[in-house]
Amino acid sequence: MAAQETAFIIGVGPGLSASLAQLFAKEGMELVLGARDVDKLDALARETNAARFAIDVADPGSVEKFFADAVADKGTPDIVVYNPSARTRGPFVEQDPEAVKNVLMISCYGGFLVGQAAARLMLEKGSGSIQFTGASASVKGYPQSASFAMGKFGLRGLAQSMARELAPKGITVNAIAPGFFATEMNEALLSDTEFTAWVEQRTPTGRWGQMAEIGGAAAFLASDAASYVNGHVLAVDGGMSVSM
């Protein structure tokens, strides 16, 4: 990664995105962090010397304002990472339609809005890297997670469609597909002994992933070493997606 490149990380929480921000900061990158609740980013912003701005990824006006503020502060991004995630869990026939709609608005519609805004900026300078955080559910569905899988399949399709269209103009687009990681968002699943057994049985490594094992994948896709990687979905899931 070249020094003083600028990265916008959107959907920052205590998991992958925080780990990635810390890794990018160590590489000397200029950072902008975005989340709906921007106050929760204060400590991470101080640690990584990052700017932080509020963003509601499902609101076109909020996305537009975020990018305007971020560019005014740090300049046009070289890298944009889209990380927001939402899920509902339960039997398919019991899924609440409004909750499902919210998942799709965040995963798919939000990904479209952010991807479009990022691409417009990068097209002006003829280069850039866009990453979407999917899940191994974008490769194969999970039981009792229909809305989550729908959202991640849609995000994968978006990433690959953008990759085909934007690569001739100097912009690469890829996705990361994490498996089950021990994050704050997954606390309820971690405490579910039956579900944890399901994860361990179906993951060749036999365990949940740890946060130290995910940031490097995003850092690779953002680096010059990945300049010929485009439209790829990089699974970081202990082999779950090839063994289900």
Q: What is the pLDDT of residue 123?
A: 97
pLDDT in tens, 33-42: 999 999 999 9
CATH class, range 6-178+214-236: alpha beta
pLDDT digits (tens, 9 = 90+) for 60-73: 999 999 999 999 99
Which positions of the chain have pLDDT values less than 70?
Answer: 1-3, 138, 244
- pLDDT value at residue 80: 97
User: Nearest 5 degrees, angle CA 151-CA 159-CA 203?
Assistant: 60
Scanning the chain, the segments in alpha helix (DSSP H) are 16-26, 42-48, 60-74, 97-104, 110-125, 146-166, 187-190, 193-202, 215-222
Report d(CA 76, CA 125) in Å as an integer.
Answer: 9
Q: What is the Cα–Cα distance from 20 to 67, expressed in whole angstroms?
A: 20
pLDDT of residue 86: 82
> Any idea where the domains of the chain sit in the sequence?
6-178+214-236
Distance between CA 53 and CA 160 in Å, rounded?
28
Residue 244: its pLDDT value, please?
57
